[in-house]
A and B are shown apart, each in its own frame.
Chain A
């Protein structure tokens, strides 16, 4: 299995609070992605990174920000969580783009 660790795996928070999800990889892959998975919507790209400090928006980036200060870490931040951001968040990595994506095990976020 690809070395991808997401933390936390489960989180319950209140509307309006900030939340940070962390993705850590040990594969030294160049590309890192954050997706959210919701019933009826499949996997939707939030943000992605193509190198340290190089990031770009995906199709559902509003309300989210990311940072990548090291090759191995990609952080997803919800500055002020809303109930619509209740979802399962997946981090993925790839050696090339497009290429095979290796996914983490997901982080389930509930915003009350």
Chain B
């Protein structure tokens, strides 16, 4: 059972454009939603994370938007640059009970073209 559904699988955006990646979750107990970025040949690294007490979090060109009623969250990359070309994973977990594990989406391969 896939608890976090991520789309699209791949995305091509022109330099300077906005990249948008969407995730939907099923477990209403989830309350921690990070995004990880992975470059080829490397392990993923935390990019940005949000908890549902806010509907949006922005760090530089990266923004997470969260819609609790729809059980959806998305990553927006403004002014996309070739250096943003990577695979992005959304994830979700509960945070109240200890020893909670992240459930990852299936990933989005983002390519920024000049």
Which A residues lie at the B interface, using CB under 8 A?
Answer: 4, 33, 40-45, 48, 50, 56, 58, 90, 92, 97-98, 100-106
Q: Is B32 an interface residue (CB 8 A)?
A: yes
Give residues in B with beta carbon < 8 Å to A: 6, 9, 32, 34, 36, 41-46, 49, 89, 93-95, 98-102, 104-107
A42→B95 contact, CB < 8 A: no
Q: Are A42 and B105 in contact, with the CB atoms below 8 A?
A: yes
Q: Which residues of B contact A44 (CB under 8 A)?
A: 104
Residues of chain B within 8 A of A102, CB atoms compared: 45
- A33 CA to B9 CA in the complex, in Å? 25
Which B residues lie within 8 Å of A97 (CB)?
98-101
- State the main secondary structure of chain B at its contact with A: loop
Distance, CA A44 to CA B3, complexed state (A) = 12
A98's partner among B41, B89, B101 (CB-CB below 8 A) is B101
Report how far A72 CA is from B55 CA in the complex, Å: 38
Query: Known contacts A98-B32, A103-B45, A104-B43; is A45 also within 8 Å of B89 by CB?
Result: no
Smallest CB–CB gap between B59 and chain A, Å? 14
| Min CB gap B58→A, angstroms | 18
Listed by A's residue number, 26 A-B pairs whose Cβ atoms lie within 8 Å are: A4-B43, A33-B101, A40-B9, A42-B105, A42-B107, A43-B44, A43-B89, A43-B104, A44-B104, A48-B101, A50-B99, A58-B101, A90-B43, A92-B43, A97-B99, A97-B100, A97-B101, A98-B94, A98-B102, A100-B46, A101-B46, A103-B43, A103-B45, A105-B42, A106-B41, A106-B43
